[in-house]
Amino acid sequence: MSQVNSNSALVGIIMGSKSDLPVMQDAADVLKEFGINYEITVVSAHRTPERMFNYAKDAQGRGLKVIIAGAGGAAHLPGMVASITTLPVIGVPVKSSNSIDGWDSILSILQMPNGIPVATVALNAAKNAGLLATQILATADDTLTVKMQAYKDELRRKVEESADSL
């Protein structure tokens, strides 16, 4: 993996294992759709603690603005990364193969102690993580704001169209 969309990634997508990629790819697809440079790689707090520490420590200096971190099971990765960096961290609970219906990762990521927030999306909701990262970047980028508004207008139009066809 370790793929970088361009030299100047604004969003870092990390995951605890390559087995999370089918879920986390949705975040990358959204960022691609909005024309946002991102990087994507595997980082594990449990299995590669030094890699995790270095990634979080260097992220801001390398130009990242937001980190999306997905993990399953005892999902410590998003919280540990959030403890090291001042960048906003969006956590994606992943339903891994031997999970307790995903509740293990949901609660691990959601129930952070005061002081170290992780913006937790729904189970496997990497798409929403990508959209939230886009909205965070849009606060300082008018072009992105216009694109996000168009995205929402299109969502509304599709729902209204489906309602009209009932």
Q: Tell whether residue 17 is among the known ligand binding residues.
A: yes
The number of residues that bind ligand C2R (CB under 6 A) is: 18
The nearer residue to ligand C2R, 20 or 39, going by C-beta atoms, is 20
Contact stretch for ligand C2R (CB under 6 A) within 24-32, 66-74, 147-155, 158-166: 66-74
Stretch of residues binding ligand C2R (CB under 6 A), selected from 28-36, 43-51, 119-127, 144-152: 43-51
Quick one: which of 27, 15, 22 has its CA closest to 127? 27
**CB 66 to ligand C2R: min, Å:** 19
Catalog residues that contact ligand C2R under the rule CB under 6 A.
15-17, 19-20, 44-47, 71-77, 94, 96
Residues belonging to the binding site are: 17, 20, 47
